[in-house]
Copies of this chain bind each other. A is one copy, B any other.
Amino acid sequence: MYRIKLLALSFIFFSGLASAETVSKAIVIQGNGDKPQFERALKLASNMHEVLTTSKFEIVVFGPTVKLLTEDSDELPLIQKVQNEGIKIVACGRSMTTDQVKKTDLIAGVTVTAFGAVHIVNRQKQGWQYFRP
């Protein structure tokens, strides 16, 4: 009986550690700011991904910067390059409403989260690392 309890405890404990290890290999990058700053965020994520090949990356875009995520954006080539590397671009739904960007306007593959800042905080709670260029 004791043996069973011990095993159960070890299992919970070590699975906890294992999952922390997994989620710590993920980085969320804040993508708001002016155009040059947004470009820096995109290039930075791309460069970091080259080095940290097994990490997941998300660039969370909010504020007026969501206007740079539409199909007619000057940033289209760079955004597509970054997406092809497996980096996710996540747009803030609240900012899209404020700046009248529709979901159908967005570059293919860009996903929408209800609230960008809340998403960033939740990702930190899940063990993702936060970086603001």
Contact = CB atoms under 8 A, between A and B. Distances in A.
Contacts of A44: 117
Interface string A91-122: 00010000000000000000000110110110
A125 B23 CA distance: 10
Contact of A3 (B2, B17, B120): B2
A52 B63 CA distance: 19
Given A124-B130, A129-B124, A118 B51 contact: yes
A16 to B, nearest CB: 8
Chain A at the B interface: SS class: helix
Interface stretch (A4-12, A71-79, A81-89): A4-12
A44 B130 CA distance: 18
A94 B130 contact: no
A48 B2 contact: no
A52 B115 CA distance: 11
Interface of A: 2-3, 5-6, 9-10, 12-13, 16-17, 24, 27, 30, 32, 40, 44, 47-48, 51-52, 63, 94, 114-115, 117-118, 120-121, 124-125, 129-133
